[in-house]
Structure formats: C-alpha cells, structure tokens
C-alpha cells in the first residue's frame, strides 16, 4: 500500500502543466463561475454570462438565451443539491470574455 501511495505521489508532477499568466487568469475566472454556482449565487453566475449568450442543454433541440438560462438556474438552485463537483482544465484558450471578480 505504501508503494502505491509513493508511486501516485511521484506521478502527479509528471501530468502537471505550466500555465501562462493569461491562462491562469482564465482558469481563475472559471473557478469563480463554478464557486458562484456552488454557493447558488445567481447574480454572480449571471454576471459571468455574455448578454448574447446562446447555449444548448444536451436534451433540448433549440438554444436558450441568457434570460432563459437565468430562469433555469434559479429553478436548479431552488430544487437541486449538488453534493460534489470537480473542475480540471484540459486546455485553456485565452482571448475570450471572462468572468471578472
């Protein structure tokens, strides 16, 4: 068991990536967005959503607007309890609109 723990601990830095300052800023924005969602702060979540937002849920044939998203999230925050969530960046593209503090 000790050997497994040592091997796992040694392998963590091998998979780690170094992010640029711009990429770190984007990831911090993503974390703020998800933290606002975790704490069910609808105003903070919606502040991260662009006014021209159009998005699809995997069950819906048509996109929803920012207003629709706000209504859906309000219902989710009132009726759903999230017990655990993880975010891990696979890649970060800079130059996009970010959620500002």
Domain-by-domain residue ranges, the chain?
A: 22-87
Instruction: Summarize pLDDT for 39-79 with one digit per residue, the tens.
Output: 999 999 999 999 999 998 888 889 999 999 999 999 999 99
Tokens representing 13 are 């830095």
pLDDT band at 1 (very low <50, low <70, confident <90, very high): low
In DSSP notation, 35-80 reads HHHHTT-HHHHHHTS-TT-EE--TT-SS-EEHHHHHHHHHHHHHH-
Q: What is the pLDDT of residues 82-99, one digit of tens each?
A: 888 888 888 888 876 667
């Amino acid at each position: 068991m000790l050997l497994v723990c040592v091997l796992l601990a040694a392998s963590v830095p091998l998979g780690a990536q170094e992010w640029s300052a711009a990429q770190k800023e984007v990831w911090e924005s993503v974390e703020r967005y998800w933290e606002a969602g975790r704490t069910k702060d609808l105003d903070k979540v919606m502040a991260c959503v662009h006014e021209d937002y159009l998005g699809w849920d995997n069950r819906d044939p048509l996109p929803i607007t920012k207003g629709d998203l706000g209504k859906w999230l309000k219902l989710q925050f009132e009726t759903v309890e999230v017990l655990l969530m993880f975010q891990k960046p696979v890649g970060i593209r800079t130059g996009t609109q970010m959620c500002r503090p």
